[in-house]
Chain A
Amino acid sequence: MLILIKNGPDTPEGKRGLQLALDMCADICLLQNAVYFAQKERLEGVCGKVYVLEEDKRLRGLNADEMEKDILPLDYDGLVDIMDSADKVAGIF
């Protein structure tokens, strides 16, 4: 299961998407303002893989040193691939 999140950590929508992923131990893909979730200490308890869209991260000036480790960078083609290979995709929160 893959959950797509585009809203930031300061929004109810973004928090809802993350909670759903925690509850289902799903993989997560962080897009647009959701890339701020990739900062340290915002993803506690996540048990699936976490992907972040590299262009949205670079756009917002987020540095590698402030990111949580084990987060997998993606480009758009990679996003299409993981959506295609996932058994189920839910989003976009």
Chain B
Amino acid sequence: MNSIAIVLRKAPYGSVDAPEAVRHALGGAIEDVDVKLLLVDAGVNAARKGQDPSGTEYSNLETGIKDCIDMGVSVYANKVSLAENNLGEDKMIEGITALDSREIAGIIAASDTTMVF
């Protein structure tokens, strides 16, 4: 497997989907797989700056996304989902690229494998 598209649809902290998507993305990056993390629907909320889990036992998803970027994972967010979730690019973590739905579909089509969370 050379390339994998990981699609995150769920908002962070409400379920295990978001941390699991980030964990799998980091795992792929470590194994030198070409990983693309696609944030769609409420999943774009994982790209929000200023997440503050202090005082809770949640792992910080903002840090997880930044780690992905540092490890060479390409992270994309769907423009329509960003608008629906009131998330302007000024409030988004740096290093994430906003794409339209056709570009997102193109990445999935070009990837060897797709995982959906």
Contacts and interface: CB of A to CB of B under 8 A. Distances in A.
B11 A8 contact: yes
Contact of B48 (A55, A56, A61): A61
Contact of B55 (A9, A36, A55): A55
Interface centre among A6, A8, A32, A61 (most CB of B within 10 A): A61
Interface string B38-74: 0001100100111111011010001000000000000
B51 A60 contact: yes
23 contacts: A6-B14, A8-B11, A8-B14, A10-B11, A10-B41, A10-B42, A32-B13, A33-B42, A36-B45, A36-B85, A40-B86, A55-B56, A56-B13, A58-B52, A59-B51, A59-B56, A59-B58, A60-B11, A60-B13, A61-B49, A61-B51, A62-B48, A66-B91
Interface of A: 6-10, 32-33, 36, 39-40, 55-56, 58-63, 66
